[in-house]
Amino acid sequence: MSQEQTYAAAGFGQSVPRGTRPAIIVVDFSYGFTDLQYPTASDASVQMANTRRICDALRSRGFPVIFSTIAYHPGEIDKLPWLRKAAGMAALIEGTRLVEIDAATGIRPEDAVVTKKGASSFFGSTLAALLTGAGVDTLIVTGATTSGCVRATVVDAVQSGFNVLVPRDGCADRAAAPHEANLYDMNQKYADVTDTAEILNWIETLAPRA
């Protein structure tokens, strides 16, 4: 039995319903993850360009565009176990350039930015409240890194009651193998892994938000 047959026999890989009130959470496209002068970064130029197209389409219809960033107070650095395992994250200090959203994403002043302390954009942030308050039923997740914070956000999103879409060409990682493995797993269990073109076509079918 092939891998695909094994997953299908177990009931995985079903299609995610697409609602009528989408939003996007752009995960950690901050300079610490996008500017290659920093060791925590990866080349995300193509993925940011695709994300920008989705954000522009959502804004044009009045749907929420939200960004997340990881930012630590200096007093937190020696107290958080994750920073012992992933020590490079300790450079992401509040008020530094590393935690600012990369301008290449096309971020606008009206876009919400949530600050997180862990991998998921939901953990320790106001993201769930923002999405619920806006009546969102379908969440698009892009950003960095696919195998880390994007995946963690996707898992928390579906567990929080949202239908989840992940454009593979809007997610960046430091290595191809974890990128592809995590996209495959998310597509089987948590989200529809699709692409920017398909998401844009779907957005075009939606009535503008009143």
Q: Which residues are catalytic?
A: 149
C-beta of residue 58 within 8 angstroms of C-beta of residue 65: yes
For tokens 């320790």, name the residue.
Answer: 124
Distances (CA, A) of 137 to 122, 123, 134, 172, 176: 16, 19, 9, 25, 31
Half-sphere exposure of 36 (CA within 13 A, CB side): 7
Residue 141 CA to residue 91 CA, distance in Å, equals 24
Under 8 Å between Cβ of 178 and 184: no
Bridge-based pairing of strands 171-172 and 112-116 is unpaired
Provide the 3-class DSSP secondary structure of residue 54: helix
Strands (E), the chain: 22-27, 65-70, 112-116, 138-144, 163-167, 171-172, 192-194
